[in-house]
Structure 1
């Protein structure tokens, strides 16, 4: 059981395949949401994931500023169904934010979040910057974390 943090180039074919499989399983199949999961941002992103005996249990991608948004962003946050409720999502978000704030020296982070997770992300200091809107039939909200000076 280990945390991994890799650039796209550092991912093996097997790691990339496992990550994409979990993303499709959660965001396309589980949420019954047909959309192009492979969106062209992975190559410029960093990938943080928790591996348990070859299983991708939790995953998110960290996207540098200027790639998707003006701000750096955290996206594709997922915990595999059988690992939910274990605290992995909270641990992963803490790690992602620590990397962005301390290693990338980022002071603003943007999220494109499902609305039902607003309080979860709010517990890390993210604040809504849009009204709730539908994307692929799912309520979403954009949120920003701005480090206090």
Structure 2
């Protein structure tokens, strides 16, 4: 059976509908707080600075990132809150999500240098997308992370 492709939207915060904002916050909480059993402040006051990449399957939000211009989160443009609903991960939608997010960074911010704060266990996933580790690993909200940078 063929995997159904996702339909993506890229929107600034002020263009998100109330329902889209609710869906993305619900998905982030479902994965980062409940699934990963991590108590942290997801609503961090930075969503209004970001572009939001929303991936839909049959009109249901199943994948999401937020992207930032250089200097607003890191020195370089960045992609964060990378999430795919657990029930959809077998379709490898993370690659589609990241490729759309990388393209959105390049288009919106006219840069090909992107920094991420990656959960360490996903290092090889990000390596396959062109990201390379920088610096030492660290704990973020009790979860091992590593800084990674991608340049075209």
Normalising by the smaller structure, the TM-score range is: over 0.9
> What SS does the corresponding residue of 1:129 show, helix, strand or coil?
strand
In structure 1, the gaps of 5 or more residues are none
1:106 is aligned to: 111
Q: 1:117 aligns with which of 122, 133, 141?
A: 122
- Give CA deviations for 1:19-53 in whole Å, capped at 9, x if unaligned: 00100111111111101001111001001111123
Distance of 1:105 and 1:25 partners within structure 2: 32
Question: Which deviates further from its counterpart, 93-102 or 20-29?
Answer: 93-102
Distance of 1:27 and 1:76 partners within structure 2: 9
Q: 2:8 aligns with which of 3, 11, 26?
A: 3
> What SS does the corresponding residue of 1:116 show, helix, strand or coil?
helix
Distance of 2:42 and 2:147 partners within structure 1: 19
Distance of 2:146 and 2:74 partners within structure 1: 15
1:23 is aligned to: 28
> After the TM superposition, which residues 72-91 of structure 1 pair with which residues of structure 2 at under 5 Å, given as runs?
72-91=77-96
1:43 is aligned to: 48
Runs of 4+ in 1 over 2 A off after TM superposition: 101-104
TM-score, normalised with respect to structure 1: 0.93
Distance of 2:108 and 2:98 partners within structure 1: 15
Distance of 1:94 and 1:107 partners within structure 2: 12
- Give CA deviations for 1:110-131 in whole Å, capped at 9, x if unaligned: 0000001111111111111121
TM-score, normalised with respect to structure 2: 0.91
In structure 2, the gaps of 5 or more residues are 1-5
> After the TM superposition, which residues 132-143 of structure 1 pair with which residues of structure 2 at under 5 Å, given as runs?
132-143=137-148
